[in-house]
Amino acid sequence: MTEFKDTYGPWAIVTGASSGIGVEFARQLAAKGLNLILIARRKDRLDALAEELSGKHQITVKTLEVDLGASDFLEKVREGTDGLEVGLLVNNAGVAVNGPLHKPDLEKQLQMLHVNCTAPMVLAHEFANQMIARQKGGIIFTASVSSFFPVPYVGHYAATKAYGLFLAASLNYELRKDNIHVQAICPGYTESEMTEKVRAKKMSAQAVVKESLDKLGRKSVVIAGLKNKLMVWFMTKFFSTEALARIGGRMMEK
Ligand SMILES: NC(=O)c1ccc[n+]([C@@H]2O[C@H](COP(=O)([O-])OP(=O)(O)OC[C@H]3O[C@@H](n4cnc5c(N)ncnc54)[C@H](OP(=O)(O)O)[C@@H]3O)[C@@H](O)[C@H]2O)c1
């Protein structure tokens, strides 16, 4: 625990900490003794979580109401983190816009691109520079098993998740000489607001986050859970990208 805190503390940012996987990142990092900066739009939820965690652990928790789809998000994050030593950035916030690309408003697709790709990249750029100066730290991107496949009808969402996966794996290579560990955690269906209406079997957010944090510094790409690992291995080993699109498309049409 102390080793984790020494490497990735004293402060961790968790985006999307108002629900689902982000809440669990906050809980498990708090248990490891890191001070937290929780980011999302629903401030009431962040404040309730901050109260819970600072009551349970000897840590300080700050909450920032930030819309990661807005153009001024970086200034708000800078203001809220000024003077704090951020050793871990968890780029977890995300949205999923479903349906064929042309159906939802273009504005919704652009918002998703901003929240899922632009904001995590900008935050990684911002905090990697600070971590390089300290010669330690970590960055986690919440990607997805859909990062590995084209998925017709949620193709743009899957593409945003592929962005996180490839950026994380490349950054891990670039930054390893500076003792900074970057990881893409790739969950399959996981219990959260995003999957409330999905009837498939889901992993708990707790198990996903535990696997991510246990493997931080050792693995830059983590597929959560054995079933998901086997599924990704099998599909990418035996099928071409075109075939995967056909298989995915037919499954989505059912
Ligand atoms: N659940 C799954 O099956 C699954 C599988 C693979 C990957 N993922 C990924 O896991 C991550 C977390 O999702 P989740 O499953 O935990 O879903 P969730 O319960 O819907 O949580 C999404 C989080 O992102 C935040 N968020 C969304 N838009 C935002 C914006 N414009 N500005 C700031 N924060 C914003 C939400 O906060 P506010 O609404 O309060 O702003 C919320 O805290 C996402 O990146 C998702 O793509 C999920």
Q: What confidence tens digit (pLDDT) does each residue in 31-73 have? A: 999 999 999 999 999 999 999 999 999 999 999 999 999 999 9
Out of 108, 161, 173, 189, the active site residue is: 161
> How high is the mean pLDDT of the chain?
97
86-91 and 61-65: which strand pairing? unpaired
pLDDT at residue 104, as a whole number = 76
CA distance 246 to 113: 24
197 tagged catalytic: no
Query: For the chain, what percent of residues have pLDDT higher than 90?
Result: 95
Residue 190 CA, closest ligand 1 atom number: 3
Angle (CA) 26-110-123 rounded to 5° is 40
Ordered by where they begin, the domains of the chain are: 2-253 (3.40.50.720)
166: CB partners within 8 A, 6+ apart:
147
Q: What confidence tens digit (pLDDT) does each residue in 122-164 have? A: 999 999 999 999 999 999 999 999 999 999 999 999 999 999 9
| Global pTM value | 0.97
Helices 241-253, 226-238: axis angle to 10 degrees equals: 120
Ligand 1 centre from 84 Cα, in Å?
25
